[in-house]
Amino acid sequence: MTPSEEFLQPPGTAIEFGTVVLREEEQTYAAALHRAIIAVLQSLPTSVQTEALLALARHLKLSFAARFNFFQGFYPPAWTILVGLEHSRPPHAHLNRTEKKRLQMVHATAMLLHLLDDHLNDNELPASHLNVLIRSQLWLFMRRALDDITATDDGGRMIAERYIDTYYASVGHQEDIDSLEAYADRFAQQMAMGFIAPEIMTRRLRGGARRVAAVKSCYAAFGRAWRLLDDVHDIQADMAAGTPSAVYFCLPAAGRSDWRAYPRTSARQQRNLGARLMEMIQRAGIRDRLVARMCHELHTAAETAETLQMTRYAEELRWLAAPLMRT
């Protein structure tokens, strides 16, 4: 057991989201997103297609033993928001098959782009020719789908460009962050490309500005909860790299200083620093603070989903929160 497991996850209280049981319709939607990524990989040079599929599956830690899908490792609300938006549409509003397929391509590629960019930036994924090619092709297909769906919609095009600009303005810049609140807000900006398909879909289904704002607020709250969970899971790796995380921003000044110094010290010093940091984390109740914040974000997202008549989506968010209430 690592120090982070000892201090942040006492016996019997592992921190994890609950399971969302997918209905047949949601499984069908997941399959459509998977096919979108298969189409991207099939567009690569023939000599690297199989290697690209295996590389992406390996990086996403996917199993071929189960029902293979590129999104099986994502918490369902990351993409079932599109299902919820369709279900809650007014009777007179609808998407045609082509619009739906293009929005699925936008969202599928945006999710994988965010993940790959994060891991390439953190050196978790090497910037090999193959990985750069996969990333470039995902970007190309997302832009093509956006160009197609906004060809006669200047408002939609402006929305997409605004979110893309927000994304690039936010990634890799943490110099001005000094609190957990600022960190959470910055992550919502880093989710920006994930907002594109939900907002365009909301507008196409006759949603006004207030509904668009509520959809964005709901999805951002879910995303912040997921970010906090990842940071708790990655405490050891983040500390080893000196990467500021939610845990870091909960520490007092002395703890933040130790965290930043950790990767630059010797192995012996790291043992001492690590033990001191973990004791500080335990004494400050950071584990409980972050779990409480995850619960708050998920319940806020669920309440907002209810106001949008997205009752199934709200149920999924509460399922994620359920185990956290018992830790």
Q: What is the pLDDT of residue 176?
A: 78
Q: What is the pLDDT of residues 208-219, one digit of tens each?
A: 999 999 999 999
Q: What is the pLDDT of residue 7?
A: 45
Q: What is the pLDDT of residue 143?
A: 97
pTM above 0.85, yes or no: yes
Nearest to 112 by CA among 62, 74, 155: 74
| Confidence tier at 3 by pLDDT (50, 70, 90) | very low
Q: What is the pLDDT of residues 105-136, one digit of tens each?
A: 999 999 999 999 988 988 889 999 999 999 99
| Confidence tier at 14 by pLDDT (50, 70, 90) | confident
| Confidence tier at 11 by pLDDT (50, 70, 90) | very low
Which has more pLDDT, 64 or 17?
17
Task: Determine the longest span between alpha carbons in the chain, in angstroms.
Answer: 67
Q: What is the pLDDT of residue 8?
A: 47
Nearest to 291 by CA among 2, 14, 12, 11: 14
Point out the least confidently predicted range of 4-18, 42-56, 249-263: 4-18
Q: What is the pLDDT of residues 301-318, one digit of tens each?
A: 999 999 999 999 999 999
Nearest to 145 by CA among 80, 181, 196: 196
Nearest to 293 by CA among 204, 195, 174, 183: 183
C-alpha neighbours within 13 Å on the C-beta side of residue 259: 25
Q: Please give the average per-residue pLDDT across 200-208, as a whole number.
A: 94
Q: What is the phi-psi region of residue 285: left when phi exceeds 0, alpha when psi lies from -120 to 50, beta otherwise?
A: left
Q: What is the pLDDT of residues 235-255, one digit of tens each?
A: 999 999 999 999 999 999 999
The answer on pLDDT for 92 being more than 50 is yes
| Confidence tier at 74 by pLDDT (50, 70, 90) | very high
Give me 164's structure tokens.
């893309």
Q: How far is CA 129 from the centre of its chain?
A: 25
How far, in Å, CA of 92 to CA of 100, rounded? 16
Give me 27's structure tokens.
């499984």
| Confidence tier at 63 by pLDDT (50, 70, 90) | confident
Q: What is the pLDDT of residue 147?
A: 96
